[in-house]
Amino acid sequence: MLRNASLFFLLAVAVCHTEQLKSKSKVCANVFCGAGRECAVTEKGEPTCLCIEHCKPHKRSVCGSNGKTYRNHCELHRDACLTGLKIQVAYDGHCEEKKTNKVATSPIVCYLTDRNELRSRLIEWLQTEVVPDGWFNKGSNFSDVLLKYFQNYDNGDAQLDSSEFLKFIQHNETAINITSFTDEENNRLLRSLCVDALIELSDENADWKLTFDEFLNCLKPGFNPPEKKCALEDETYEDGAETQVECNRCVCACGNWVCTAVTCDGSEKFPALEEMDGGDKEMTEEEWIRRVAELNKHQETVEKMKVGTKEV
């Protein structure tokens, strides 16, 4: 009897899902959304264009006009939609790194798209190891699979730090290999930065370590990661936005300002994207470190104010 009820419920869900697909197909039949967007149905049953939620996982790397390598055309157009930037395909394949004697114009950072891509690949890989319950054998659900890996890479303190998390994702290097750069050293650094970004997603006590519950929350398929912005001088900046202090560039990545840290000798100057206080004076290393800390402290203050406003 119970089995028949379960089958009836599954059939009802399948029929409902089919009806929703038919409804979407009908409403969106004559709607063209453009590259990087897809048609969705509002609560009122009206069509609307939104940024594509997930691209198909096939890999055909392309170089964007922003100098960034994307897994395929869809990922490029999706990034353009999410960031609001005009990004075109420069050419097929990985972007070629330009050889230069000048200091790097921007730091290597993990953008929201990089973080979310790594997370999606991890979830896809983990879901392949889920085993449904059989007639006589108990299977393994998503939580069971995660617990297995958590216990394998935990050093005994019931928490995963960034190095342990990195070892976990390297368990299946093919599934989670992010290659935005032609230089493998830069790709390794990018993966490490994206691991930190993933930890920050669900690290409730901000100790840069994840308990199993935090680890599970981070990789839950149904969890939609927030897309944080950066704050500076009463303005908010989208992921990927840049500003400048002296000859160093600061980039907004996953809600934090990340800056290069080179000594300015007066000859390596780049055109400023935003004028900042004290921009005409050369700063010492201590002043520079303090300035970057101020940027992110201001960011934290703005985030707390937002939370306080929501609670009121």
Summarize pLDDT for 222-279 with one digit per residue, the tens. 888 888 888 877 788 888 888 876 777 888 888 888 888 777 765 444 444 333 444 4
User: pLDDT tens digits, residue range 109-134?
Assistant: 888 888 888 898 899 999 998 888 77
Alpha-carbon distance 179 to 4, whole Å? 49
What's the chain's average pLDDT?
Answer: 76
**Quick count: other Cβ atoms within 10 Å of Cβ 189?**
15
Residue 291 structure tokens:
């300035």
**C-alpha distances in angstroms, 87 versus 35, 81, 229, 279, 282?**
11, 9, 20, 30, 34
Spatial separation of the C-alpha atoms in residues 295 and 253, rounded to whole Å: 13
Question: Which CATH fold would you assign to the domain 112-219?
Answer: Recoverin; domain 1 (1.10.238)
User: What pLDDT does 191 receive?
Assistant: 80
**Position 181 confidence tier, pLDDT thresholds 50, 70, 90:** low
Given this model, what pLDDT does residue 96 score?
Answer: 82
Q: Which fold has domain 27-98?
A: Wheat Germ Agglutinin (Isolectin 2); domain 1 (3.30.60)
Cα-based distances in Å from 130 to 56, 126, 134, 173, 178: 21, 7, 12, 19, 24
With CA atoms as reference, report the closest residue to 253 among 295, 287, 218, 281: 295
pLDDT tens column, 25-44: 788 888 888 888 889 888 88
Residue 245 burial class via C-beta count within 10 angstroms: exposed 0-12, middle 13-18, buried 19 and up: buried
249: CB partners within 8 A, 6+ apart:
104, 105, 106, 107, 242, 243, 259, 260, 270
- How many other C-beta atoms can be found within 10 angstroms of the C-beta atom of residue 55? 19
pLDDT at 302 over 50: no
d(CA 111, CA 119): 12
DSSP structure class, residue 12: H
| The model scores a pTM over 0.85 | no
Name 58's bridge partners: none
| Full strand arrangement of the beta sheet holding 242-245 | 242-245, 248-253, 256-259
What is the tens place of the pLDDT at every residue in 31-90? 888 888 889 888 888 888 889 888 887 778 889 988 888 889 998 999 989 888 888 889
**Nearest partner of 68 among 91, 52, 84, judged by Cα:** 91
The two domains 27-98 and 112-219 share their CATH topology (first three levels equal): no
Q: Which position has the token pair 């190891």?
A: 129
Question: Nearest Cα to 261, choosing from 36, 151, 104?
Answer: 104
Choose between 171 and 264: higher pLDDT: 171
| Percent of the chain at pLDDT exceeding 70 | 69
The SS3 of residue 136 is coil
Domain ranges of the chain: 27-98, 112-219, 230-311
